[in-house]
Amino acid sequence: MLVIEDDDAVGRLVARGLSEAGHEVALARSGLDGLERARTEPCDLVVLDVMLPDLDGLTICQLLREGGVRTPILMLTARDSVDDRVSGLDAGADDYLVKPFALPELLARVRALGRRATDSADGETLRVGDLVLDLARHEARRGGQVVELTAKEFGLLEYLMRNAGRVLTRSQILDRVWGSAAEPASNVVEIYVHYLRDKIDRGAARPLIRTVRGVGYTIKE
């Protein structure tokens, strides 16, 4: 585990808690150091503070995702607005924890992210019709053409494709793709389904992503 946190007290708390839970932990106390370590040192999870003095967490997250690093990222921040959480998720974070937090909650989220990573590694390629999702390369193709997706769009598409033909409710999607970082009353699912349709189905003779009115969403040929 890599913890990127400039606050000594918080950094030590998180590192100690992860170590006592059986994880090997590296601690970076600046954004630039953390970015370099995340790029060059293999790790299973990055715990990333948003407010860093030299390079903020959102930028670090974006740079890692743009560079092909797919390690799960749990962001820590004192900001609690919906816009701030959405910004973190859009930057490529997998979950979002607001300070101050209880250590058991942090460990629970780490375990949940570990389960998601294991699920993603179960199969390297998912297919629905002419849509192919390469999990190892983190790449989507439709009709042989690469489809550029954000980290959260990729996660949503993966969940739909793993459950192809099955109707998934909005609450199921929120829980699986956004986890506890999501606001139950928000329309983030609807927004991201729209994004996916625009990228996956636009111009296609046969749309794959379907709405089952009053129930949820599915993907099928």
pLDDT, tens digit, 9 for 90 and up, residues 68-83: 777 889 999 887 667 7
What is the rounded distance in angstroms from the CA atom of residue 33 to the CA atom of residue 40? 11
Domain boundary among 70, 103, 120: 120
116 and 130 co-located in one domain: no
74 and 53 co-located in one domain: yes
Residue given tokens 């599915």 in the structure block: 218
Closest C-alpha to 41, from 22, 57, 25, 18 = 25
Element (H, E) at 156: helix 151-162
189 and 80 co-located in one domain: no
97 and 149 co-located in one domain: no
Q: How high is the pLDDT of residue 118?
A: 57
139 and 115 co-located in one domain: no
What does each C-alpha distance from 91 to 43, 59, 88, 126 come to in angstroms? 19, 8, 5, 24
92 and 162 co-located in one domain: no
Closest C-alpha to 126, from 93, 156, 167, 152 = 156
Q: 164 is written with which tokens?
A: 């192809």
pLDDT digits (tens, 9 = 90+) for 82-137: 777 778 788 888 888 888 889 999 998 888 887 766 555 555 788 999 999 988 77
Under the banding of pLDDT at 50, 70 and 90, the label for residue 162 is confident
Q: How high is the pLDDT of residue 117?
A: 60
Q: How high is the pLDDT of residue 189?
A: 92
Q: How many CA atoms lie within 13 A of 205 on its CB side?
A: 3
CATH number of the domain bearing residue 98: 3.40.50.2300
What is the value of pTM for the model shown?
0.56
Our count of domains for the chain comes to 2
Domain boundary among 120, 143, 168: 120
Rounded mean pLDDT of 35-39?
Answer: 90
Strands 168-169 and 216-219: antiparallel
8 and 63 co-located in one domain: yes
Domain, as residue range, for 87: 2-120
What is the rounded distance in angstroms from the CA atom of residue 61 to the CA atom of residue 48? 8
Q: How many CB atoms lie within 10 A of CB 157?
A: 27
51 and 127 co-located in one domain: no
Domain boundary among 120, 147, 170: 120
CB-count exposure of residue 220 (10 Å: 0-12, 13-18, 19+): middle
